[in-house]
Each structure stands twice: as C-alpha cells, then as structure tokens.
Amino acid sequence: MSHAQHVFAAAQYGARAQDYVTSAVHSAGADLDRIEEVLRGRSGARVLDLGCGGGHVSYRAAPHVAEVVACDVTPDMLRVVAATAAERGLANIATQQAPAERLPFPDGSFDWVLCRFTTHHWQAMEAGLREARRVLGPDGRAIFIDTVAPAERALDTHLQTVELLRDASHVRNYSVAEWVAALGRAGFAVEGMGMHRLRMEFPVWAARTRTPPEMTTAIRALQDGAPPQVRAHFAIGPDGSFDIEVASFSLRATL
C-alpha cells in the first residue's frame, strides 16, 4: 500500500479531528460499554487502540488497564487524543502515529487489540489484520467493531457508493463473511459475534466529514432513485437518514 494513500487519508481527517471527539455516534454506544466491561479487573494489561480516531476506546479502556497506546495514521487526531486524555487525567494513554498495515511494535507487545470503526478506511485490510495478530501475545484477545456491508450485491453497491461520495478516503465496508474469512487467515479465532443497527442522521453524518454540497446532493439523488428494496433495507428517511449494520467480533489469537 502506498505512502501517498496513507497521507491522503490523514489529510482527509486532520481537519475533522475535534468533530470525531465530540461525535455522538463515536463517543457512546453499547459496544463501548461492552469493551469497558471486558477490561474491568485487567489492571496489568497493555492495550492497543488501533485506528483510534477520536480516542473513545482509549478513554474507556484506560481506567481499567496498565497502558493504552492510541495508534492512528492522522497526526491531528493523535494531538486531540493526547490533549483530551490529559484533560481527563488519563496519564496511561500514549499515542503513536502509524498505519495499521505497518505497526512499529515488536511481536507480542500487547495483551489486547481494540479496533472500532476504522477498518473500512484501511488500504489493505488483511495486512492490517496480520499486523494486529503479530503484535498480540500468545494469549492475546482482540475486539474488532466496524460497519459492515450487506451480502446482497445491490445493497452492497448502494452502500459503497454512498460512503465514497461522502468521504473520498473510504475504501470498503466488508461483509460479515469477508470479515470472518479474513480474520481466520490472519490468525484469529472468532469466539463471539454480535450485530446491531446504527441510525445515521443525514445532516450530522455529512457534516462530520465536511462533505461538499455537490456530493451531498448526489447522495440524496442516489437515495431518492434507489429501488424499493434498497430504501427498505437501509430504512432511508425523508431527509436521507438511514440505518447501517455494525458487527462486533470477539477474537482470540491462534498459534
């Protein structure tokens, strides 16, 4: 994967860093509650928040573990995370700039890898998954959470198009089947999986990525012209708000 692609993604998100710290979609949710719950009592654990974005996983994990390394490709995101951690008195959060596909950590450096709402931006998903497995210790655990694409091709095409029009750094939302296969190839055993739907309020969703007006107009035209089964699946509302599916994978590192 090219350095230029990572630079492009970092540039896309640099100006939006504070928006992701304050985003209601990113800062709350049952998935974050669950991450906090599984880490309770693991006071000796070292955790990697992979593709940390606004740092919400790090903030939840830090009170329960020895150290959290918040890793992201975007320097501005990391500056905001470091400042927010300091404001909240979370002195055990460190930051590291790196793409998921090339992590600057030795083998077996972490007890947990946590990754939420970022894999769809990676230039090479499987390379990132292999790196996540590499930096986990032999008894390591991981939780990956991301928006996923429907298996049906017409629905998949609609979602990928909408995502790309909204954000030029979007790579792909993968299906659950693609996820499970890729995780297995990377050296993970899936111990549990959950699914839920997340409502994307169109004005907030578009504003968070500072989507240009011509692109929001194109998205709304695509939604308005979509077949009935597409509109029904995504529950597209009059203002363009829609549902997206989220998958959570609980993983164990295999030998």
How does DSSP classify residue 175?
A: P
pLDDT digits (tens, 9 = 90+) for 167-202: 988 999 999 999 999 999 999 999 999 999 999 999
Query: CB-hemisphere CA count at 13 Å for 194?
Result: 11
Output the pLDDT for position 255: 72
pLDDT digits (tens, 9 = 90+) for 197-234: 999 999 999 998 899 999 999 999 999 999 999 999 99
Residue 154 has a CB neighbour count (10 Å cut-off) of: 13
Residue 230: burial class (beta carbons within 10 Å; 0-12, 13-18, 19+): buried
pLDDT digits (tens, 9 = 90+) for 63-106: 999 999 999 999 999 999 999 999 999 999 999 999 999 999 99
Residue 15 has a CB neighbour count (10 Å cut-off) of: 11
pLDDT digits (tens, 9 = 90+) for 130-180: 999 999 998 999 999 999 999 999 999 999 999 999 998 899 999 999 999
Output the pLDDT for position 136: 98
Q: Is the dihedral of CA 72, 78, 82, 85 positive or negative?
A: negative
Output the pLDDT for position 1: 43
Over pLDDT 90: what percentage of the chain?
85
pTM of the model: 0.89
